[in-house]
A and B are shown apart, each in its own frame.
Chain A
Amino acid sequence: MVTERLARWVLSALFIFGGCLKIFGPEEMRQSIEGFQFVTGDLAVFGAYFIPWFEVTCGIALFFDKTRAAAAFLLCGFMLLITLATFLAWQKGISLHCGCFGRFANDLPDDYRILFMRDAGLIILCAFVCWRSLGLKKT
């Protein structure tokens, strides 16, 4: 129970913080999305507005009983997509700054191992919270 609560707080803090950093920088976010070289144009613009709000919404939703499992589930799927995109970018040899924390991440080295390890950690945390949240209420 304590572990699950701690995991939720960590996830909430990370996604709310990361989302807030990007909310008012849609141009930068679009550049980050286009940096993956999968989507451009309107889809990248949509992602630039949607992703930060999605992160903040799910981060907040992790605090509420009724939305906790759904938020963890969505964040897990989101992180899987990000990891897949990162993997494909790595395969294409793209030098990538993920833009996950807005300008705060700009100075990070282009080290894919760090990105993969961080993504894997977040996926495990999200899956753990989702699993625990779904199993909280027993009859």
Chain B
Amino acid sequence: MGNTEAKYAFQPRSFGFAVAFLLCISCLMAQIAYIVYPIDGETPMNESLTWANLPEAKATDTLWVDARSAHEFEKGHIPGAVNLNMDDWARGFATFSGAWRPGRPVVVYCNGGGCMASVDVATRLKKSLPEIEVKILKGGYPTWLQKD
């Protein structure tokens, strides 16, 4: 009565080819993207501070900038830090200007992980004050809490 057994038409070769094809396309597009809009080597993100450098930063006259919200800042922050975030830039920048003087290194932090607030604030600070030496604390405030 005919063969009723179902056989899957899985073909390893075509499956493998499709996998390789998709990976190649992704790599190619990534390469093109890198050529069209390369990561700017001058952004503060390249100037990251890790917990290993924290003692050095603590020893110097570093000005800590907390890029988190005012609410998070009130709950806890690095001693001496000023709160400067994109939501209330004018007020925060006035506070920052009162605490910063030319030559004083600045380290911006937020919540760590993929948090972008510190990058945004550091980039904007760099644009506002081109002479500023600004770094980002990798891992953010949680790093400080763990390593303090």
**Pair from one complex:** yes
* Chain A residues with a Cβ under 8 A of chain B: 23-24, 26-28, 30-32, 34-37, 45-46, 48-50, 53-54, 56-58, 61, 66-67, 69-71, 73-74, 89, 93-99, 103, 105-106, 110, 134-135, 137-139
**Is B139 in contact with A137, judged by CB distance below 8 angstroms?**
no
**Given A34-B138, A53-B33, A138-B9: A96 touches B26 (CB 8 Å cut-off):** no
Q: List 17 A-B contacts (CB under 8 A).
A: A24-B37, A26-B39, A27-B119, A31-B114, A31-B115, A31-B116, A49-B31, A54-B22, A57-B22, A67-B22, A73-B19, A94-B112, A94-B139, A98-B114, A110-B111, A134-B10, A137-B9
Residues of B within 8 A of A58 (CB): 22, 26
- 1/0 per residue, CB under 8 A from A, across B19-63: the answer is 101110111011101100101100101001000000000000000
**Is B119 in contact with A96, judged by CB distance below 8 angstroms?**
no
Residues of B within 8 A of A137 (CB): 8-9
**Is B39 in contact with A45, judged by CB distance below 8 angstroms?**
yes
The answer to the question of B1 belonging to the interface, with a C-beta cut-off of 8 Å to chain A, is: no
**Given A53-B26, A95-B112, A134-B10: A67 touches B33 (CB 8 Å cut-off):** no
**Is A48 in contact with B7, judged by CB distance below 8 angstroms?**
no
Shortest CB distance B51–A (Å)? 10
In the assembled complex, the Cα of A37 lies from the Cα of B40 at a distance in Å of: 21
* Chain B residues with a Cβ under 8 A of chain A: 6-10, 14-15, 18-19, 21-23, 25-27, 29-31, 33-34, 37, 39-40, 43, 45, 48, 111-117, 119, 138-142, 146
**Is A37 in contact with B7, judged by CB distance below 8 angstroms?**
no
Residue of A nearest to B140 (CB): A95
- The 10 A-B pairs of least Cβ separation, nearest first, read A32-B114, A70-B18, A99-B114, A96-B113, A49-B30, A35-B113, A137-B9, A53-B29, A54-B26, A97-B114
In the assembled complex, the Cα of A4 lies from the Cα of B63 at a distance in Å of: 55
When the two chains form the complex, which single residue of A28, A45, A70, A93 contacts B22, counting CB atoms closer than 8 Å? Answer: A70
**Given A28-B119, A30-B39: A74 touches B19 (CB 8 Å cut-off):** yes
**Is B119 in contact with A31, judged by CB distance below 8 angstroms?**
yes
Residues of A within 8 A of B25 (CB): 53, 57
In the assembled complex, the Cα of A91 lies from the Cα of B42 at a distance in Å of: 33
Residues of B within 8 A of A69 (CB): 15, 18
Residues of A within 8 A of B45 (CB): 27, 30-31
**Is A139 in contact with B9, judged by CB distance below 8 angstroms?**
yes
